[in-house]
Amino acid sequence: MTLAGKTILMSGGSRGIGLAIALRAAADGANIAMLAKTDTPHPKLEGTIHTAAEQIRAAGGQALPIVGDVRDGDDITEAVLKTQGEFGGIDIVINNASVIDLSRSLDLGAKKYDLMQDVNVRGTFMLSRAAVPILKDAENPHILSLSPPLNPSPKWLGAHTGYTLAKFGMTLATLGLAAEFARDGIAANTLWPRTTIATAAVQNLLGGDKVMAASRTPDIYADAAYAVLLKPAREYTGQTLIVEDVLEADGVTDFSGYAAIPGTPDSALFPDIFLD
């Protein structure tokens, strides 16, 4: 099986993990529609929705950049209808858009709290829900959210309560959709890495060059997502998956090629949050 001819609707994806997943699918000849806000270059962040589309086409896929906001219901509706109109359907929804702020509760601004809830939780639910009627007609429909397993440990509940609520909310929404639409054959799973991934968020918010050097590349996330999206939807659903576990189940045991700095041993990599 491959993703050739499959249509993916993704939130975000201008850079980082989302773009890596899109490029992995594009290598098979998949169609990628992206709903993202980054229409013009950001002074501190590389890439726009248009440069992402160019890379997708160069990798062998079809691209449909849709400038919009996953917080806006009209933008979501337009994205779903445009994707269906352009490619004839939707096979996969990837909830990639996410806002991160690791501030402690007393330091977290109300607007940033609302933003995390709106993008991470509401965006995941609303985009997935809008696509469900079309996913029902797909041969092997999947919803995949980039969010962690639910871990009620005080270590994570109390570390950054606002962000934890938002990421766990993504997971709860996804698991709820998995249960609700299981009879329709729509898979809904989450995916999260054991180590930090070398992205702009890690560079700017989680520790700069030191943590970047002790991270894995987005390719490991992309390869695991690819493996998930090929699974039979009726059988492989309702799971909070870990990137490395997915790859190991498919026979991959050597992750050294994914080190952001070649030669970095696994023992020296920085563990991601939410996992004990």
For residue 159 the two structure tokens come to: 């570390």
Mutual angle of helices 73-87 and 123-135, in 10-degree steps? 30
**Spatial distance between the Cα atoms of 110 and 95, rounded to a whole number of angstroms:** 24
Three-state secondary structure of 230-274: CCCCCCCCCCEEEHHHHHHHCCCCCCHHHECCCCCCHHHCCECCC
Question: Is the distance from CB of 55 to CB of 30 less than 8 angstroms?
Answer: no
Residue with tokens 């079309």: 134
Is 163 in the active site? Answer: yes
Choose, from 163, 221, 226, 258, the residue flagged as catalytic: 163
Question: Is the distance from CB of 28 to CB of 2 less than 8 angstroms?
Answer: yes
The catalytic residue positions are 163
